[in-house]
Amino acid sequence: MTPRLVVSLHDLHPGSRERIAAQREALASWGVARRSLLVVPEFHHGPASDGAEAAAWVRRWQEEGDEVVLHGFYHDRLGREDRLANLFWTRFYTNGEAEFLDLPGAEARRRLEEGKRRFAEAGFAVKGFIAPAWLMAPGLTGLLAELGFAHTTTLRQFLNLATGTATDAQSLCWSTRADWRRGASLAWNHFLCARLLRERGPLLRISLHPDDLLHKAIRQQIERCVKSALDAGYKPVTYADYAAG
């Protein structure tokens, strides 16, 4: 079976649209014409991503072959207290963005239903949900399946909610918040990309955030990894494509 490559573009909202548009152009020039767009309805409680102008852009990209994925609702933890046990995930691993890490079930349901409703009204065909930083409270995958989502991911797996199956596929991703994070990301992803291509699993995942291609060394590494995957026979698809088989 031909192995698949999914490149996902995270944190799409009105403020990141231009940077993600540039990412789409770069990826297309490298040979990736289908991408999964991770859209946040109200990024950091800001302007709605399904506003008329923003929605028109996303619909056009969807028509060109991209997939829209619901990516949290606010992508922050505003109004929530960080417990000692979660400080690593909420303050170090993320910058206060682990929205669904410990969200109570009733509130999680409200945000998921509201996100689906808004995106349906905006004309987005949404089948998947991915939590900010891939961090989910216990039981969230069951709720996602109940609400009709077809797929989700963790950092290390793709989860087909319709079939109840999981595919091991650790995502490559970069952190650009500080010099040391960029250096560590380059070292880790150099190793990880080589290992994943050598193992040749059924799914290779590359996850980009809005600022990634603004850093020359990271951009060059991402381009090398993408082109190496294509040269190795990986076919670019969306998460929805992969879930459909």
Angle at 206 between CA 171 and CA 214, to 5 degrees: 125
Question: What is the three-class DSSP state of 239?
Answer: helix
Q: How many CB atoms lie within 10 A of CB 32?
A: 22
Residue 216's domain is classified under what CATH number? 3.20.20.370
pLDDT tens digits in sequence order for the chain, 245 residues long: 899 999 999 999 999 999 999 999 999 999 999 999 999 999 999 999 888 999 999 999 999 999 999 999 999 988 777 776 777 767 777 877 889 999 999 999 999 999 999 999 999 999 999 999 999 999 999 999 999 999 999 999 999 999 999 999 999 999 999 999 999 999 999 999 999 999 999 999 999 999 999 999 999 999 999 999 999 999 999 999 999 98
Number of domains in the chain: 1
pLDDT at position 78 is 82
Residue 89's domain spans which residues? 4-244
- Which residues contact residue 87 at a Cβ distance below 8 angstroms, ignoring those fewer than 6 apart? none
Residue in the block written with tokens 């995942």: 205
Q: Per-residue DSSP letters for 215-234?
A: SHHHHHHHHHHHHHHHHTTP
Question: What is the three-class DSSP state of 139?
Answer: coil
pLDDT at position 87 is 74
